[in-house]
Chain A
């Protein structure tokens, strides 16, 4: 994110969506590379015969852990170098299968002003090429003010523990 533009709390408009992160098509080699990187040997991600004939899935499954990374990536990019992704939650409601292109989206549903920075509440999800939602969730991102406050601390200190 070197040279990335900083978004400020003041500029965030309720109801708007952050820039979507689009990744794909997520091919079998991409899934294999992820499984290897985290040493996850669950066969449904690389052994099509096992996924389809043993586990009765439609095809190889995109790893839930990879989808988590993509959500965090989309939110961190938006938060910028001086922001902070504080909370993110996911529910894995539906399978995404190999070859799909995923669009990670998030919409601003709340804003809370604190003395040194602001908190932005978001709803989020992951839709595939067919427009099907698989991973609804929520997030809270801390953003600096443009002209006031000390900014977002690092390490992050949650507001209720001050």
Chain B
């Protein structure tokens, strides 16, 4: 049975809206991220010869990927599901603002992540992201056909591309 329908193929190239992270790159958020990732690089907090190349203190390279969070006024999923013993705590979308794949009953596996880095997000900058279905193809595996779905997300700040992240989801 083929999984790759015309309806799914038609999603290739579809783009999301450009979405802004709810907060700017804040020094406190950068500090917590850097400390929590066990990385004491001074470019994250002080103006120095090392950070001069980047125009001043910057966020860690992959920081923009974690900036898209629930803003003030968002539904509080943790409270809504506080009495649900099966709630795994995961909040947020898996398709980055794109319409979900029209499939049902297929498991979702993480097939890997590829990151291209172009620049770091300066303190105080506003980060936006935009995603697209870059490729969708089918392969046959031991347990039958599998769909490979490549979602590319660009992260930008101050008109500059920071990161391009390609996540491959496997649906089977």
Contact = CB atoms under 8 A, between A and B. Distances in A.
A34 B113 contact: no
Interface string A70-86: 10110010000110111
A155 interface: yes
Given A1-B42, A68-B62, A69-B39, A37 B115 contact: no
Nearest to A73: B39
Interface in B32-87: 32-33, 35-39, 41-43, 48-50, 53-54, 60-62, 65-66, 69-70, 78, 85-87
> What 3 pairs between A and B have smallest CB-CB spacing?
A37-B36, A69-B37, A155-B119
A148 interface: no
B114 interface: yes
A42 B88 contact: yes
A3 to B, nearest CB: 8
A20 to B, nearest CB: 14
Contact of B42 (A2, A44, A90): A2
13 contacts: A1-B50, A2-B49, A34-B37, A37-B29, A37-B33, A38-B36, A66-B37, A68-B113, A68-B115, A70-B37, A76-B41, A154-B119, A156-B119
Given A2-B50, A43-B89, A89-B115, A69 B35 contact: no
A18 B90 CA distance: 36
A73 B44 CA distance: 13
B118 interface: yes
Q: How large is the interface on B (under 10, 10 to 19, 20 to 34, 35 or more residues)?
A: 35 or more
B41 A41 contact: no
B115 A39 contact: no
A157 B114 CA distance: 17
A77 B161 CA distance: 23
Interface in A44-99: 44, 47, 50, 54-55, 64-66, 68-70, 72-73, 76, 81-82, 84-92
Given A41-B91, A43-B88, A69-B62, A154 B113 contact: no
Contacts of A50: 88
A33 interface: yes
A55 B160 CA distance: 41
Contacts of A66: 36-37
A156 B113 CA distance: 20
B62 A72 contact: yes
B163 to A, nearest CB: 11
Contacts of B111: 91
Contacts of A81: 50, 53
A70 B112 CA distance: 16
Interface centre among B39, B53, B91, B119 (most CB of A within 10 A): B39
